Structure 1
Amino acid sequence: MQKSRFSETFGPIFLMLGAVLLLIFARLFYIVFIAGEDYAAQAEATRTNTIPISAKRGTIYDRNGNAIAISVESTTVSCNPSMVKDASGVAKALVEIYGGEESDYYEKLTKENATFNYLYRMGDVDKGEKLSELMEQEPDKFVGVYCTSEARREYPYGSVGGQLIGRVNNDGEAICGLELEYDDILKGTDGEYVVERNETGDYAIPGSVKLDVEAVNGQDIMVSIDITMQTQVEQIISEKAAVQGESANAILMDSSTGEIYAMCSTPYFNPADPSESESGSDVVSPITTALEPGSMMKTITAMGLLESGTMTPESSVDCPVILYADEYEISDAFDRGATSLTLDQILTHSSNVGISLASDNIGAEGIYNNLQKSKVLKATGIDFPGEAAGYVTTPENWSNIARYNITFGQGVTVTPLAMARFYAAICNNGTAVTPHFLLAKTQTGERPTYDTTNLGYSETTLSDIKGMLHNVVENNESNEAGIDGFDVCGKTSTAEYSLDGSEYVTGNYNVGFCGFLNNTSLPLTCYVGITHSEATVTTTEVFHDIMKSAIEKYGIASIG
C-alpha cells in the first residue's frame, strides 16, 4: 500500500522531470549538431565586417600591343556607419583631401542601419596615402573608416575607338562594347577583406584587417583594332563626312581574314567620361542598324544575273526614260533619253530603270534566292553586342513595283557591316569571312578561329563583277575614289529613307560607298556612309582618303 501511494504521489513528478530533461537534451543536440554552424556564422557576423576587393580587370590591347583599356591602382575609402565615432571630424578630413561637400560625407558616415558605405571610390593613390597617414596618427578619430586598394578602369585614348572598346562602371560591371562582349575573360573574380570588431561590435580591433578571399585578376586580350588607323579614320569621318549629314560611319576590314582595323559612327563616345558623351553615342551603327542600302544592292542583283547565265556585262537592255509599274514611276538620277544600256553601263551609271528591267531575266524567285545566297540579310556573327540583321519579305508578298525596288535597294534592309562583308567576299574570290575583333588571349596565347563561307559564285561571275566595279570607279566623272597605281573597285549609293516607315523623306538621303583594293598585298575593304544628307553629297572622296592613309601606313602594294 505504501509503494502504491509513493508511485501515485511522485510518479507524475518524475515523468515531468524526465520530459523536461528530454527537451533540454534535444535542444542541446539541435544547437550543437544541427544549428551550430548557423549560430557560429551569426556570431562571426556580429564581430566581423567584410570589405570587397575588386579584381584587376584584364587589359585590352590593339593589334600592335598598345593598351587601349587598362586598370590602374587606386584607393577607395569606405566606412561602417555603425562603428563610426567622429563623423564630423572624418568628413572634414575627407573634404581637405578629396574636396566635395562635408554634408555629403557626413550623411554617408551616419547612415542608419548600415554596416558598409563608400565614401570615395577609386581616388588617386597619393591621396589615399595621405588619408592613411592621418588614420595612423589619429586612430580613434577614424574608427570605422577604411582605405583599400581598388583597380580603376582607364582609357588612354579617350574617345578614339571608345564605341568599340566600350566601358565598365565603378562597380566593374561591363556596360557596352568589347568590355561587355569579353567580360567573362576580362573581369576576374573579386575577393574580400575581413575586419574584426570588439566584443560589443562597436569598433574595429587595431591591426585586424585581414585578407579573407584573394581576388583573381582578369585575363588580357588583343583585338584587331589599329588605334593609330582608328584615329585617322575618325578624324577623316569627322572633318569630311559627319559635317555633310546627320551622322556618318565607316568600316575598314581585311577582306581575307575579317579583321576589323577601324570602325566608327558619329557622334563619338568617350568611355573615360560617359556623362559628357551624347546620348546614343555608344552605339556602333554599322553593326546595330539595318538600313535600305540603295544602289549598292545593284551589285548583288547584277551578280545574280551574271550567275544565272541570262546576261553578261555586255548584254543590253532597252531603257525608257520612265518605267511604269503598278501605277508607280521609276526613273534614273541622271539625265538621258530612251536608250539601250549594257549591264556594265547600268552598274556604272547606277540606272534604276536598267537594273529593274534586267531583273526580269531571273524574276522574283531569282532575285530572292540570290539575296539569300549573298548572305547580306543575315547577321555576320561579329563578336560585338547588339548586331542587327537585314530583312526582306518573301516573293509571294511582292508587287511588281516592290520587286523592282528591291533590285536597287528599296524595300530591303541591310546593315553596313553585312554589305561590307559581301563586297569583301567579292575581293576574296567569293569567300565570305566573319568580321571580328578578338585576335588572341595574350596570357594563354589562344587564338580563336572564325567561320568562312563560300558564297557559291563562279569564277567568271566574280571576275566580271570585279571588272564592272572597277569601271564604276574609273568611269566616274570625278574618279574621287580612284587611287593611282591601284585597282579600286566599288559602288556608290544614294538611298531614300523613311522616318516613320510610311513615306520617304523628300530631298534628303543616306549616301554611301563600299569598295576594296583588288589584287594587293593587304586586301582591304572600306565602307563609308552618311545619313540624312543632300543628294549632292558624295562619300567617294572620304573613301579615297581612308584607303590612301591605309596604303601609306601599311605599305600596301599592288600585286596584280
Structure 2
Amino acid sequence: MGPSPRKETPRTKPPRREAPRDDAGSAGTPTKKPGPKKPAQKPAQKAPPKPAQKKAPAKAPPGKSRAGATTQNAHTARPPRTGPRGPRPGGGSGRRPPPRGPRTRVPFHRRDPLKRLNVGLLVVAFVLSLFAGRLVQLQTIESGKYSEQAMRQRLQKIELPAIRGDITDAQGHPLAMTVEARAIYADPSLIKADKRQTIVNALAPTLGLNPSTLMKQLSKPDTRFVYLAHGVRPDQARLITSWNFLGIGTLPEYRREYPNDSLAAGVIGFVNDTGKGAAGLESSMNGVLAGRAGWQRVEISPEGQHIPMGEDQRRPSEPGRGVRLTLRRDLQFKAQQAIEKQVRATKAKSGSVIVMDPRTGRLLAMASAPGFDPNEYAKSDGDLWGSPLVQAAYEPGSTGKVVTAAAVMEHGGVTPHTPYTVPDTIRKYDIAFRDSHPHATERLTFAGVLATSSNVGTIMASESISSQRLYQTLRDFGFGTKTGLPLPSETPGLLKPPAQWSGTDRYPIAFGQTVSVNAVQMASVYATIANGGVRVEPTLVEGTVGDDDKFTPAREPRRKQVISARTARQISDMLEGVTTREGTAPRAQIAGYRVAGKTGTAENVNPRTGGYDGGGYTASFAGFAPADDPQLVVQVVLQDPKRGSHYGGDAAAPVFKDVMSFALQSEKVPPTGSRPPTVQIHARD
C-alpha cells in the first residue's frame, strides 16, 4: 500500500497580522518594551502551524516561466537581509529588530467577461442606432431630395427636331426636301476603355468620321450624351444598331435632300450637319423653313436603353413652312446647262444666266457656273457656296448705255435720230476715251450710236444732261441699291454720288465703267425698258405653304415709273438694231421673233495694280423678246473668257439665243408675226 494521504489542517481565515515595531515604537500605538510580539489568537480557533522559512528561489533561466515554482503563499516573501544590521539612528539599544514579514500584494482579478460583452453590445447598438437614424432621415426627411437627384441622373433631355419645310419651284417640283434619317449618339460613361478602339474602328469608316475626333468624344467618362453624326440613312443606322455597342444609340431625325443635285444650288444653298441653313435661301429663310424644335425627357436605364415605364415628358415640335419659288425647274435646268457649257468652251472664270418676266418681276431662272452639289457640299470649294448672281459685282460696260440713253432722251432732248459726228477717240481734259474698234470718223444717229455701241458717241450724247441727272437716272433704275431678294450677302454695287466724282468720272460712267452692279440689278434694268418704263422689284419667292398645305402669297412687289412709256418704246426699237447685221449682236437673233438687246464688253480692274491693264474682260448680253410684246428677259454674263473672242456679241449672245429660244417655247410664247422697225444707223445730212 502506498503512503497514507497527508492530513491537511482545515484552512481558516488567516490571523490578523500587525506590522512589526521598530525601536522607536510605532506611531499611533502605545510603546512597550521591545521584543517580539506574539500573534494574536482568536478564541475557539486553533492557530495554524508556523510556516517554515524558505530560501529565495533561484532565478529562472530565460524563457522558462516562474509559474513552475511551488509556494504555499500566493506571493513569494521578500528574502531576508544577509548582513548584520546596525542600530537605526535615534534608536534605543542596538538590538537587532525582528525580520519583516512578507509583503502582501493586491491579487490580480480578471474582469468579468459578461461585463465586457455588455459594453461591446452597447457600442454596437450605438453605431446601429446612428445608421438607423440616417436611414430614417434619408427615407423620410430627405427622401424627396435624393429621389429627385436620382431621377435627374436617369433623365435625359432629347431634342425633337422639327420637319423642315420643302423648297419647290413655281409648279411644285421639289428643289429641297426633308426625308427621315437617324442621329447617332454616344453615352461615354457606359463605354469601357478597352472597347473604345473597337467602336472607333467600326463607326469612323461607316459614318465618314475622323477617327481621332471620334476617340476624343468617346473618351469622356463624365459625359452622358454626345452626338456623333446627323442625317444618317436609316439603313446605316440599322447596321450600327445591329453591332450592339454598349453606349451607342440612334435617335430619329430628318435629313435634307436635293433631288436635282446642283440645280439652282447657288440660290437654294444647303443645310449643314447640325440641321441649320448655311447658304442661299436655306440660310436667309431658315426661320421660316426650320419651324420650332421640340424636346422630350426620357428615362434611361444603366445600359442606355429607354425604360418603358419611366417618366416621359414631351413638347412636340412645330414643322416649318414650305417655300414656293418663282423659278421654273425646266427653264432653270436649260439655263444652267447652257452657261456651264459656255464657261467650259471659253475657259471663262465664271458665268451666270438670269431669266425674268418683266411684267411681274418674277425670276424664272437663276443659273451660275461653276456650281456645287448641296448633297455633298463639303466636297466642294467653299467659294462656290454663295450666290454670285447677287454677291458678285461687275462693271456692266456697254449694257449700261441704255440708262444713259434713257436719261438723255427723257431730259436732254435727244431723239433716236439726233446726229453725231463720231471719231474713234475723244479727249476729255487729259484723258483719251476710245471706241472698242478703230474706225474712221462716222456720222451716226443716236440710234446708230447705241447699235454700234460707240463709247465716243455716248459721251457726246451724255453732255446734254448734268452729272446729277445722270446719277439720279442710274439710281431710279436700281444702281447702288440692293434688289431686296431674300439671298444672303447681296452687294448693292458701286455708284458714288456726283460730289465724289472726279472731273472725268461722268464720261466712263456714261458708257458703263467705274460703276458696278450685280447680275439681277442689270436684268432689272432691261426688264424696266421692256415693261414700258415701269420698274417692278425682282421677285424670287412666290409665297409659303403651311403644314395644312395652305398657300400664303408673298407681298406684291413695288412698282415705279422710271421713264415714260414713249421713251421706253423708242429705246426698245433702237435695241432691235443691235441684233441686226449692222449691230454688234447678230448672233442673238431668233427665227420668228423680234429680239431687242445690248452687248457689253467691260474691262475688269486688276486687283494687283488697281488699274484696268491685265484685269481681263466681262462679256455680257441682255435682251428681251418678243420685242413688240416683251414677256421674257434674259441676261448673260461671262467673267474673263480666255478662249475665242471676249466681246459680248461673240461670247455671251449665243447663250442668250439658246436660253431665250427654249424659254419662249416652254412658256408658250407665240411669234408676233410683226415686222421689226427700220432703225436708222447712219445720219443723213
Structures share fold, TM-score greater than 0.5:
yes
Aligned position for 1:514: 622
Query: Does the CA-based 8 Å contact 1:181-1:385 persist in structure 2?
Result: yes
What's the TM-score, normalizing by structure 1?
A: 0.85
Measure how far apart 1:273 and its partner are: 0.6
**Counterpart check, 1:456 vs 2:567:** no
Measure how far apart 1:365 and its partner are: 2.5
> 1:396-422 deviations in whole A, cap 9, x for unaligned?
343443211110011111222111101
CA distance in 1, matches of 2:613, 2:577: 31
Gapped regions of structure 2 (runs ≥ 5): 1-136, 675-685
Aligned position for 2:256: 153
Choose between structure 1 and 2: higher helix proportion: 1
Q: 1:322–1:165: structure 2 CA closer, same or farther, 3 Å change rule?
A: same
Note the 1:167-182 alignment, pairs <5 A.
167-182=270-285
Choose from 122, 125, 129 the match for 2:238: 129
> 1:417-436 deviations in whole A, cap 9, x for unaligned?
11110110111111111212
Q: 1:416–1:40: structure 2 CA closer, same or farther, 3 Å change rule?
A: farther
Query: Does the CA-based 8 Å contact 2:585-2:653 persist in structure 1?
Result: no
Aligned position for 1:446: 552
> 1:381-400 deviations in whole A, cap 9, x for unaligned?
11211211122222234344
CA distance in 1, matches of 2:297, 2:447: 75
Measure how far apart 1:373 and its partner are: 2.6
Instruction: Report the secondary structure of 2:263's partner residue.
Output: coil
Aligned position for 1:262: 365
Aligned position for 2:224: 115
Aligned position for 2:342: 240
> 1:471-515 deviations in whole A, cap 9, x for unaligned?
111233661111122121111000011122721034831110011
Query: Does the CA-based 8 Å contact 2:477-2:535 persist in structure 1?
Result: no
Choose from 311, 314, 317 the match for 1:212: 314
Measure how far apart 1:304 and its partner are: 0.8
Aligned position for 2:44: none
**Counterpart check, 1:505 vs 2:613:** yes
Query: Does the CA-based 8 Å contact 1:379-1:388 persist in structure 2?
Result: yes
Measure how far apart 1:206 and its partner are: 3.5
User: Greater CA deviation, 149-158 or 52-61?
Assistant: 52-61
Query: Does the CA-based 8 Å contact 1:87-1:106 persist in structure 2?
Result: no
Q: 1:397–1:169: structure 2 CA closer, same or farther, 3 Å change rule?
A: closer
Aligned position for 1:529: 637
CA distance in 1, matches of 2:283, 2:212: 36
> 1:428-449 deviations in whole A, cap 9, x for unaligned?
1111112122112123310012
Gapped regions of structure 1 (runs ≥ 5): 1-27, 136-140
Query: Does the CA-based 8 Å contact 1:267-1:278 persist in structure 2?
Result: no
**Counterpart check, 1:423 vs 2:531:** no
Note the 1:64-103 alignment, pairs <5 A.
64-84=171-191, 88=195, 91=199, 94-95=202-203, 98=206
% identical aligned pairs: 28
Aligned position for 1:548: 661
Instruction: Report the secondary structure of 2:589's partner residue.
Output: coil
CA distance in 1, matches of 2:564, 2:229: 64
Instruction: Report the secondary structure of 2:463's partner residue.
Output: helix
Aligned position for 2:421: 318
What's the TM-score, normalizing by structure 2?
A: 0.70
The one of the two structures with greater contact order (alpha-carbon pairs below 8 A, sep at least 6) is: 1
CA distance in 1, matches of 2:164, 2:653: 41
Q: 1:203–1:503: structure 2 CA closer, same or farther, 3 Å change rule?
A: closer
Choose from 489, 497, 504 the match for 1:401: 504
Measure how far apart 1:119 and its partner are: 3.6
Instruction: Report the secondary structure of 1:419's partner residue.
Output: helix
Aligned position for 1:57: 164
Measure how far apart 1:340 and its partner are: 2.1
Instruction: Report the secondary structure of 2:633's partner residue.
Output: strand
CA distance in 1, matches of 2:372, 2:419: 49
Aligned AA for 1:555?
K
User: Greater CA deviation, 540-549 or 278-287?
Assistant: 278-287
Measure how far apart 1:110 and its partner are: 3.5
Query: Does the CA-based 8 Å contact 2:423-2:439 persist in structure 1?
Result: no
Q: 1:482–1:202: structure 2 CA closer, same or farther, 3 Å change rule?
A: closer
CA distance in 2, matches of 1:348, 1:355: 11
Query: Does the CA-based 8 Å contact 2:493-2:518 persist in structure 1?
Result: yes
> 1:180-217 deviations in whole A, cap 9, x for unaligned?
1221111122223323246xx78656334846222222
Instruction: Report the secondary structure of 1:420's partner residue.
Output: helix
Aligned AA for 1:224?
T
